[in-house]
Amino acid sequence: MGETAILAGGCFWGMESRFQRLAGVLDTEVGYTGGFLEDPTYRQVCQDITGHVEAVKVDYDPAVINYRAILEAFFSFHDPTLCRDNCTSQSSQYGSIIFPLNEEQKLIARAVLDEISASGEYDCAVDTIIQPATMFYPAEEYHQDYYKKHHLEDLDDLTC
């Protein structure tokens, strides 16, 4: 039986494409979460009127990849700081957020975030937050599997 992770780290197209390449990932879906408006549209999220971020729901096989490894991949897929002109610094819908779905995920998320923050890997402070999961609203169909649909899988910069 699979498990699910919900993560936001910049544009959801590139984040989804990278997660799709991980062994043990069963399925992905891009969408919106963390806001206050029911069933938001892409246009509303981009206008910063819903409080949502672009996120990826990752269904994975815990016998192949665990939640910690999903989070470690997440941090390797984007710049979780605001010190450079990166995706997360351009717009509120591109925040770096971990949305744990249960207490175990919350504890693992806190441990990984603390390790990443203390690692010295980044010139600036890590800006990633841990926020309780709320309703996840799937994005419009044209956003799903965007990189596959447009044959962009080989791009190096997949998150902007």
Does the predicted model carry a pTM greater than 0.95?
Answer: no
Q: Residue 96: which of 55, 37, 59, 132 has the closest Cα?
A: 55
In a domain, 143, yes or no: yes
Cβ-based neighbours of 19, under 8 Å, separated by 6 or more: 25, 28, 56, 58, 70, 73, 77
Q: Domain range for residue 46? A: 3-149
pLDDT tens, 5-59?
A: 999 998 899 999 999 999 999 999 999 999 999 999 999 999 999 999 999 999 9
Which amino acid does the sequence have at 155? L
Decide if 154 is inside a domain: no
Whether 89 shows a pLDDT value over 70: the answer reads no
> Parallel, antiparallel, or unpaired: how do β-strands 137-138 and 129-130 relate?
unpaired
- 149 pLDDT tier (thresholds 50, 70, 90): confident
Give residue 138's pLDDT. 97
Q: Is the pLDDT of residue 157 over 60?
A: no
| 73, part of any domain | yes
pLDDT digits (tens, 9 = 90+) for 114-142: 999 999 888 888 999 999 999 999 999 99
Q: What are phi and psi of 31, to 5 degrees?
A: -175, -160
DSSP code, position 120: -
CATH of the domain at 21: 3.30.1060.10
Whether 124 is catalytic: no
* 145 occurs within a structural domain: yes
Our count of domains for the chain comes to: 1
80 neighbors 115 (Cβ within 8 angstroms): no
